[in-house]
Structure 1
Amino acid sequence: MVFWEGVVSDELMGTFAPIVVYWLYSGFYHLLEPMDRYRMHSRKEEEMRNLVSPLSVVKGVILQQLLQAFVAILLFKVTGTGESANALVQPSLATQLGQVLVAMLVMDTWQYFVHRYMHQNKFLYRHIHSRHHKLVVPYAYGALYNHPIEGLLLDTVGGAISFLVSGMTPRTAVFFFSFATIKTVDDHCGLWLPGNPFHMFFQNNTAYHDIHHQLYGAKYNFSQPFFVVWDKLLGTYMPYKLQTRADGGFEARPTNE
């Protein structure tokens, strides 16, 4: 039993819940951005180094989410769940957890190789992936600021493959994609908050991804959004240490293992 049962279908929740979660969670972080002692870059640095306006970022994210919603509706229709999603028998909790783990590994694999190729191919980087890197100083609601083609290939197709390979039901997908959305926002939030569980349980976190957004880390730390397995296996892992900045806040700096 879930709170939306009898109100909307699992299909609709799976389509729109991650969008709502994105703006709620990133909005929470936006309220915390003035807390300079937790920032990984100063506000002045954010204003000077970022190459795109906040309004353009919001427009870009909304466009990507519209495309994601369209593909999600199409995916549920093609796979035959549709409006009957609520009627599907849910597997055991252990099975669902196993499906989520499989989906996490599949998504990580897909995004690592597509993401890395977009850096290695000069045409793709210049015309597509460089849009995301206009946010040299990442912030939460810019997590999904991408070129529409990148959003389609990296996130939307990657999510569809994860859903299909794992065999999860639309109801399980509601929780998985909402969790993946929260994780992605957290990785781009630009804040190192004490007690953040993502920092404690995932090596792939805010500082890890911030390294990738800097010039010296552009060829490293491609893994997203969950683990760092592929970076470590294929030699693209850049270790770092967290330092306190003289003007307050933190800074992730590369270090030798």
Structure 2
Amino acid sequence: MGTFAPIVVYWIYAGFYHLLPPLDNYRLHTTRDEEKKNLVPFKAVVKGVLLQQLVQAIVALILLTTTSNASGVTVQPSITKQIIQIVIAMFVMDTWQYFVHRYMHQNKFLYRHIHSQHHRLVVPYAIGALYNHPIEGLLLDTVGGAISFLVSGMTARTAVVFFCFAVVKTVDDHCGLWLPGNIFHLFFQNNTAYHDIHHQLQGLKYNYSQPFFPIWDKLLGTYMPFNLVKRAEGGFEAKPAKD
């Protein structure tokens, strides 16, 4: 479950967004922009995501099997303790991903040869949430997830909940839609529009934080606030705002 549940959840949730009608009145970019600006075909994105998930599955199997065997019979902790462990894991993952992500932008070699693959999706969409160079996928997501799991001390069962939630949040951040009532937009300042700013040319050096909170962006001066502006032809546009 800890290995394969997040993968299944990814394709169910991302597939849900993919099967929705155009919803032009809620899009952050027009369908024309998506077709014109993105530099990689949909099939290549799917293959890239599947490759990353294969690596993640192998690492997760090794990690979860090793920790389970080492600990023997594990008593599931209380709900309160599990919530604390999940919060710790969220902070650890945010910290790891912020600094690795930021360095991949600042190092010209790493950006040109590795991280730029993710930014070929100038107009993000849900299925492309995990479209990365394999090395980036390993460093940013797989290693980050492993460190979060180990530092928080959560059991494999708790890890299922945490990683499934992290996957859903990541997919939602890339969905390109500002839907009314979306709980992630209500409870997380780091959301679809926040990350969309990062994919724009003027936001490449800002809004590195992912997937949960904008803490490090705000502390280290890389936070770019935004305004949602209605487009005349329908939908919204996330525009950088003066702080």
TM category (shorter chain) comes to over 0.9
C-alpha distance 22-82 of structure 1, shift in aligned 2 (>3 A): farther
Q: What secondary structure, in the 3-state scheme, does the structure 1 residue paired with 2:2 have?
A: helix
Aligned equivalents of 2:156 and 2:64: distance in 1?
Answer: 8
1:83 Cα shift? 11
> In 2, are the aligned partners of 1:210 and 1:252 still within 8 Å (CA)?
yes
Is 1:126 paired with 2:112?
yes
Question: 1:33, 1:39 within 8 Å by CA — same for their partners in 2?
Answer: no
Residue 105 of structure 1 is matched in structure 2 by 91
Aligned to 1:78: 66
The answer on 1:209 being equivalent to 2:195 is yes
Pairing of 1:159-238 with structure 2 (within 5 A): 159-238=145-224
Alpha-carbon deviation of 1:201?
A: 0.2
CA contact (8 A) 1:33 1:191 kept: no
* 2:135 counterpart residue number: 149
Give yes or no for the alignment of 1:65 onto 2:50: no
SS of the equivalent of 2:80 reads helix
Residue aligned with 1:242, SS: strand
Alpha-carbon shift at residue 93 of structure 1 (Å): 0.3
Question: How far is 1:100 from its partner?
Answer: 0.1
What residue number does 1:5 align with? none
For 1:33 and 1:151, how far apart are their aligned partners in 2? 30
TM-score by length of 2: 0.98
Tell me how far 1:32 sits from its aligned partner.
2.2
In structure 2, C-alpha distance between the alignment counterparts of 1:157 and 1:82, rounded to whole Å? 20
Unaligned runs of 5+ in 1: 1-12
Query: Cα deviations across residues 172-214 of structure 1 (Å, max 9, x unaligned)?
Result: 0000000000000000000000000000000000000000000
Q: How far did 1:77 drift?
A: 2.8
RMSD (CA atoms): 1.2
